[in-house]
Structure 1
Amino acid sequence: MNGIEDARWTEPLDAVLRDWARTAAARDKAGGTAFHERRLLRESGLLRLSIPPEYGGDGADWSTTLDIVRRMAQVDSSLAHLFAFHHLQLATIRLFGRDAQIRRWLAETVAQGWFWGNALNPLDKSTRALPDADNGYLFDGRKSFCSGARDSDQLLASAFDDDGRLLIAVTPTNRAGISVLDDWDNMGQRQTDSGTVVFERVHVAADELLIDPGPLSSPFACLRPLLAQAILSHIYLGIGEGALQVAREATLAQARPWIASDAARPSEDPYVLAHFGDFFVALEGARLLAERAMQAFDRAWQRGLALSEAERGEVAVAVAASKVAAARAGLDVAHRMFEVTGARSTTAALRLDRFWRNVRVHTLHDPIDYKVRELGDWALNGRMPEPSFYS
């Protein structure tokens, strides 16, 4: 791979980010669906980034794909989230589906320019899978936290059958019986459309179910939750880096230091420099851990079905460490940036608090305390994290 410097994606990425940056604060205030910005992603070709060349994609490795997620999150973490989850759905098909399903849906994604949304929330068991004709099912119920479902073309949806078995299906978003509600109004990640999808006896055919090999069916299939966790790490890291860049620009633009300071300008104040030193160390450490975790992840992905449980476990430890570091660094920088930017930076129109609000909302996806406990169990007892949809 040529990495993130490949012009096939760096040029369209730069164009997209320039457009997003102009309206990031206003769109944070407005919330709702970023139709224009999603259209730019469709037109950029970046939605085919992680798809293998044999299906018409660019074949970027996961290190490259998530580094682009990180760069997006520096500018707009909501849209980085949507972009990342699009590729997570495609990875899920590759990990859980048959060869014919993979070939069909990945090739169609490239040909049709599909944007994938998420209605796969394994903690939400309110959607039932009722037996239907031809070995299919009727999905019926409500699904919460469905990031990117609005304005999507295809959904990955989950439901539980009468035996409590988790079923994951692919379905067009506009299929009869599916209603995507515009009910996401949180304090952060305001344009992820992470609201509710309602399924009213939605028919799912047998060949639309990802049951062969199916969810978490092998150490290789268990890479899916690790990719999801790595995505979160890169979003947290990107938010922290974006906050640092804004803080740097604001500090350098200031002409007068604090009245008690002996420095000629704020950028020479020893306390300001100490804050920036802390920010750099925290983010640099998180970045290097993320880089190491993705190198391990890419090696594991290349192993395919030959991947062992021990090898998967090593990736799980690396990803967990990366996530904890990124969450702590992102929260700290997004919070403490105001100690160097000063009172004027709290002007409502700037909406610089969006960095903290975004990382605070997103880091509640699953409790960091439990990631730390897993890492403690590994460090003390040598026990690797058990595979689940969150580890």
Structure 2
Amino acid sequence: MPATLLHLQPDDPIGIARTLAARLATTALERDRTGGHAAVEREWIRQSGLLALSVPAEFGGAGADWPTVYATIRILAQADSALAHVYAFHHLQLAGLTLYGNADQRHRLLTATVRERLFWGNALNPLDKRTIATASDDGFILDGIKSFCSGSVGADWLTLSAWDHSVDGALIAVLPATQAGITVQADWDAFGQRQTDSGNVRFERVHLPADLVLQAPGQAPTAQASLRSQVAQLIMANLYLGIGQGAFEAARTYTREQTRPWFAAKVDKAQDDPLVQHRYGKLWLLLRPAELATDHAAVLIERAFQRGASLSRDERGAVAIAVAEAKALSHQAGLEISSQMFELTGARSTSAQYGFDRYWRNVRVHTLHDPIDYKIRDLGRYALDGALPEPTAYS
């Protein structure tokens, strides 16, 4: 690791994230072109110490609050949204341990995460019910496949879900990624977010011990446990916003340093063109509401975590509304800025040497995670009738 990372104080996660983002940026364009598994860069993340950021201090972690965790995600997304996604989903799995696990599971798994610098991946995809859990004497046997498993390639441990036909419901559990019978397939081939390690995970007669089951099959989650979907959705919002911020800064820098002014503007510099200024003002008005809404939602998630088992349905619903606002605004900002930036930078900015298209490709792929129209519908219902979103894996 470079001295710049090693010499930063562990109580400066924002500084560490900025230094890490700067290093990721040096290879981000080339890695976006090649795709595949960014093993070296994932090791940079591991060595940074940020994997322990959200782990409570009682288990040896940094004990950072959620606004700080989300800030680091957004900083990394400005430079490399794919690896920011992998990093963010690591923290999503840790949130799941806190929300679903019992006291012993939290102690064992979170302590091990810090001590062994574990990198967590996701195989939970609630809409994919092809992985089946069959009860055995000391737990379950898993068979099937899971798709869209972010961060699974190169992960040390996985969070997973599996369907139990005997109760017509799913269980949630964790397993080492190297457990016998687990095969992680590096077959993610989307045109954006190309290094999120989001391939398929296959389970063939995999033994799941009972003490690694976080939520029993068919068990209804509490208001507290249902916060996991809100943690995930606000991760999406911060990734979209980070991409939008990264695109805005790339466009701003290019406009100031390289864009030639249009002859009809009769100015010497593109940045002095009043129409260019007007358009940047409109993009700024996409960014600022998204930033404010996203930061506000992070504060509400932190408050909800502090409430613990006392969290009420209405308090959880207020979080869901704030997260829906943040996600809808960040969705719009990321897509619009990454597209409109070319109208402000000019034809030469489309050269492959800049790779500016990656901003749009990454946010376009990621914003398809779940339909934004349903978030906007939830906001409309709330505006009309005060109805709070029903807790699901996506709301």
- After TM superposition, is the score higher than 0.5? yes
Please state how far the C-alpha of 1:275 moved relative to its aligned partner.
Answer: 1.3
Q: Secondary structure at the match of 1:210?
A: strand
Pair 1:252-2:236 in alignment: no
Equivalent position to 2:173, from 144, 169, 174 = 169
Pair 1:372-2:376 in alignment: yes
Q: Distance in 1 between matches of 2:373 and 2:322?
A: 16
Please state how far the C-alpha of 1:14 moved relative to its aligned partner.
Answer: 2.8
**Aligned residue in 1 for 2:182:** 178
**Aligned residue in 2 for 1:32:** 36
Q: Secondary structure at the match of 2:215?
A: coil
The 5 Å alignment of 1:6-45 reads: 7-45=11-49
**Aligned residue in 1 for 2:51:** 47
Contact kept in structure 1, 2:170 and 2:217, CA below 8 Å: no
**Aligned residue in 1 for 2:147:** 144
**Aligned residue in 1 for 2:119:** 115
**Aligned residue in 2 for 1:155:** 158
Contact kept in structure 2, 1:82 and 1:147, CA below 8 Å: yes
| Residue identity opposite 1:70 in structure 2 | R
**Aligned residue in 1 for 2:4:** none
Q: Distance in 1 between matches of 2:348 and 2:391?
A: 47
Equivalent position to 2:246, from 231, 242, 248 = 242
Q: Distance in 2 between matches of 1:321 and 1:301?
A: 20
Contact kept in structure 2, 1:247 and 1:337, CA below 8 Å: yes
Q: Distance in 1 between matches of 2:219 and 2:110?
A: 18
Q: Distance in 1 between matches of 2:246 and 2:219?
A: 35
Q: Distance in 1 between matches of 2:217 and 2:283?
A: 44
Contact kept in structure 2, 1:240 and 1:355, CA below 8 Å: yes
Q: Distance in 1 between matches of 2:160 and 2:279?
A: 44
Equivalent position to 2:132, from 125, 128, 131 = 128
CA shift in 2, pair 1:321/1:11, >3 Å: closer
Deviates more, 1:203-212 or 1:74-83: 203-212
Contact kept in structure 2, 1:96 and 1:214, CA below 8 Å: no
**Aligned residue in 2 for 1:265:** 269
Superposition CA RMSD, Å:
1.4
Q: Distance in 2 between matches of 1:307 and 1:321?
A: 21
Q: Distance in 1 between matches of 2:20 and 2:300?
A: 29
| Residue identity opposite 1:209 in structure 2 | V
Pair 1:297-2:298 in alignment: no
Contact kept in structure 1, 2:73 and 2:239, CA below 8 Å: yes
Q: Distance in 1 between matches of 2:67 and 2:279?
A: 30
Pair 1:69-2:73 in alignment: yes
| Residue identity opposite 2:280 in structure 1 | F
| Residue identity opposite 2:155 in structure 1 | S
Contact kept in structure 1, 2:163 and 2:217, CA below 8 Å: no
Q: How many pairs were matched up?
A: 386
Q: Distance in 1 between matches of 2:360 and 2:104?
A: 43
Pair 1:60-2:64 in alignment: yes
Contact kept in structure 2, 1:230 and 1:323, CA below 8 Å: yes
Q: Distance in 2 between matches of 1:298 and 1:204?
A: 32
Deviates more, 1:24-33 or 1:156-165: 156-165
Contact kept in structure 2, 1:254 and 1:265, CA below 8 Å: no
Alignment deviations for residues 99-120 of structure 1 (CA, whole Å, 9 cap, x no partner)? 0000000000000010000000
Please state how far the C-alpha of 1:157 moved relative to its aligned partner.
Answer: 1.1
CA shift in 2, pair 1:255/1:48, >3 Å: closer
Pair 1:384-2:391 in alignment: no
Q: Percent identity?
A: 51
Q: Secondary structure at the match of 1:348?
A: coil
| Residue identity opposite 2:145 in structure 1 | R
Pair 1:288-2:292 in alignment: yes
Q: What are the ranges of 5 or more consecutive residues in structure 2 without an aligned counterpart?
A: 1-8
Please state how far the C-alpha of 1:7 moved relative to its aligned partner.
Answer: 4.4
The 5 Å alignment of 1:193-272 reads: 193-211=197-215, 217-254=221-258, 256-272=260-276
Q: Secondary structure at the match of 1:226?
A: helix
| Residue identity opposite 2:291 in structure 1 | R
| Residue identity opposite 2:240 in structure 1 | Y
Q: Distance in 2 between matches of 1:74 and 1:14?
A: 10
Q: Secondary structure at the match of 1:167?
A: strand
**Aligned residue in 2 for 1:309:** 313
Pair 1:188-2:180 in alignment: no
Alignment deviations for residues 328-380 of structure 1 (CA, whole Å, 9 cap, x no partner)? 01100000000111111101232110000111111000000011111101100
Contact kept in structure 2, 1:97 and 1:213, CA below 8 Å: no
Q: Secondary structure at the match of 1:150?
A: coil
Equivalent position to 2:100, from 93, 96, 101 = 96
| Residue identity opposite 1:383 in structure 2 | A
Q: Secondary structure at the match of 1:43?
A: helix
Q: What are the ranges of 5 or more consecutive residues in structure 1 without an aligned counterpart?
A: none
Q: Distance in 2 between matches of 1:213 and 1:164?
A: 8
Alignment deviations for residues 61-118 of structure 1 (CA, whole Å, 9 cap, x no partner)? 0111001101110000001101110000010011011000000000000000100000
Runs of 4+ residues over 3 Å off in structure 1 = 5-8, 212-216
